[in-house]
């Protein structure tokens, strides 16, 4: 039940993450326009490289190591201080490198400087500790308040295209405030280190986790850099808006991975691998059942949703969303196998290989497809890369899991999702787009999917029925 509680806590925050962009993105898109959105997206992708270098693999490593020692306060405290000080050092080095970058930079200097607040804020991010001890209410509560504050500030202070620096400062400043707000909770959690800190011992394992993080980051942000180089800053804005919707939806599914990582890590440390594998097989089915309607739902509404939501200047985003939507399903699968299984079981090599394959494939395809098809080519490159990651990870675990059965059991979800898509797409292309028609399309789609799950008695329906019967 603790896993379920944490999943609902995480999902409730992800619901907020979806709702807030629904409020802010249309406003920001119309105020800043494609160029302003593109500048913000392009500069932030550059800062993300420095954040990545400063954090190395500490977030995932810290989460896992704290989970291994949940019940031992002394070891937990020692680990926390050693890992936290390592992060201070690495982020400090990254800040020094960023200062050199700023000295050499000419265009958008103020924007880069304000984006740098996010790099400074990353030094104080200790959410990995609370995830490791499975106290998700701490991070969810923090994120909720900070998110609300940032939305209020956006509507108060962003009034014209020249307010882009203020917008960047609000977003990055909120991150800093959010990270600092978690530190007071540590008084109840940890004590001072009882022995000499051995920071060096954490460097190698964090670097091992850093390699897959680099690969993940490459095909998470390199798209925007390459679109900016081979296409235009405006095209970066189009890509960013499509990506923002998909990434806002995806955590509804992948938040289960955030919850399962410390739980499976704890099972692994206790030697209970059998229970962990049973839980993961069930997780794969549940995530397939949740990801499928999200994928088909986005595909169904995207064409007329984009200009209605972002503004008429963003008409092209509709097709981009339709192309990108299947990523939701592939990310769900790779989250189960990679984040929930390979990482807790300390199988870093296949995890690293999988995301490296995705990164290399994405970059190579971008070189080929962006010059030919522009931003649409980059979207296809991203989709193929995510699919390759999921396929490789499923291949790696074929001896431990009955992969074919896991995939075959998802056919009912695909059938229900496809039929739902057909109805939604018809309504979307025949109805005029407004708030009422959009809500009706979502509700009708949800009813169709739920009813078909009940009729076909899918595992998702059976598990949901069991859950409701316990209450």
Tens digit of each residue's pLDDT (9 = 90 or more) over 346-376: 788 898 899 889 989 999 999 999 999 999 9
Residues of the chain with pLDDT under 50: none
C-alpha to C-alpha distance for 235 and 238, rounded to whole angstroms: 5
Q: Which of 471, 347, 457, 353 is nearest to 409 (CA)?
A: 457
Alpha carbon 305 to chain centroid distance? 22
Phi, psi of 40 (to 5 degrees): -60, -45
Contact of 303 with 428, CB cutoff 8 Å: yes
Helices 375-396 + 327-334 axis angle, to 10: 30
Give the integer Cα–Cα distance in Å for 256 and 286: 10
| 435-468 pLDDT, tens digit each | 999 999 999 999 999 999 999 988 878 777 776 6
Report residue 180 as tokens. Answer: 């600092």
pLDDT in the model for residue 214: 75
Q: Please give the pLDDT value at position 15.
A: 60
Position 159 scores a pLDDT of 92
- The token duo for 353 is 């290989």
Cβ proximity of 114 and 39 under 8 Å:
no
What pLDDT is recorded for position 3? 53
Given a contact cutoff of 8 angstroms between Cβ atoms, the answer to whether 219 and 362 are in contact is yes
User: What pLDDT was estimated at residue 16?
Assistant: 64
CA dist 230 and 55 (Å) reads 29
- Whole-angstrom Cα distance, residue 144 to residue 159? 24
Measured between alpha carbons, how far is 226 from 236 in angstroms, rounded to an integer? 9
pLDDT for 372 equals 93
Cβ proximity of 238 and 33 under 8 Å: no
């Amino acid at each position: 039940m603790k896993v379920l509680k944490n999943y609902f806590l995480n999902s409730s925050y992800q619901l907020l993450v979806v709702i807030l962009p629904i409020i802010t993105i249309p406003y920001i898109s119309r105020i800043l326009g494609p160029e302003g959105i593109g500048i913000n997206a392009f500069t932030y992708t550059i800062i993300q490289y420095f954040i990545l270098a400063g954090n190395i693999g500490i977030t995932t490593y810290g989460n896992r190591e704290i989970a291994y020692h949940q019940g031992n306060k002394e070891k937990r405290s020692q680990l926390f201080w050693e890992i936290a000080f390592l992060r201070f050092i690495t982020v400090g080095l990254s800040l020094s490198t960023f200062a050199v970058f700023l000295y050499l930079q000419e265009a958008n200097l103020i924007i880069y400087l304000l984006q740098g607040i996010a790099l400074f804020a990353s030094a104080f991010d200790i959410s990995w500790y609370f995830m490791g001890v499975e106290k998700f209410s701490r991070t969810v509560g923090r994120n909720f308040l900070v998110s609300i504050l940032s939305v209020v500030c956006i509507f108060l202070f962003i009034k014209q295209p020249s307010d882009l620096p203020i917008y960047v400062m609000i977003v990055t400043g909120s991150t800093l405030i959010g990270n600092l707000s978690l530190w007071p909770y540590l008084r109840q959690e940890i004590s001072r280190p009882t022995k000499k800190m051995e920071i060096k011992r954490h460097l190698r394992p964090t670097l091992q986790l850093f390699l897959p993080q680099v690969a993940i980051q490459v095909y998470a942000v390199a798209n925007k850099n390459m679109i900016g180089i081979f296409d235009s800053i405006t095209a970066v804005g189009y890509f960013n808006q499509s990506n923002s919707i998909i990434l806002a939806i995806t955590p509804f599914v992948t938040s289960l991975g955030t919850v399962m990582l410390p739980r499976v890590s704890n099972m692994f440390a206790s030697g209970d691998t059998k229970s962990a594998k049973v839980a993961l097989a069930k997780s794969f089915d549940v995530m397939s059942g949740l990801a499928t309607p999200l994928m088909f739902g986005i595909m169904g509404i995207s064409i007329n949703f984009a200009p209605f939501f972002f503004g008429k200047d963003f008409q092209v985003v509709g097709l981009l969303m339709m192309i990108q939507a299947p990523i939701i399903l592939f990310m769900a699968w790779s989250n189960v196998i990679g984040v929930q299984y390979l990482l807790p079981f300390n199988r870093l090599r296949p995890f690293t290989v999988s995301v490296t394959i995705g990164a290399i494939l994405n970059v190579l395809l971008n070189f080929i497809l962006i010059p030919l098809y522009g931003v649409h080519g980059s979207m296809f490159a991203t989709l193929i890369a995510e699919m390759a990651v999921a396929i490789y990870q499923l291949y790696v675990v074929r001896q431990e899991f009955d992969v074919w059965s896991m995939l075959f059991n998802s056919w009912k979800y695909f059938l229900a999702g496809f039929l739902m898509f057909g109805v939604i797409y018809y309504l979307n292309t025949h109805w005029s787009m407004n708030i009422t028609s959009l809500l009706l399309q979502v509700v009708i789609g949800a009813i169709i999917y739920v009813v078909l799950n009940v009729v076909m008695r899918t595992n998702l329906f059976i598990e949901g029925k069991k859950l409701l019967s316990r209450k």
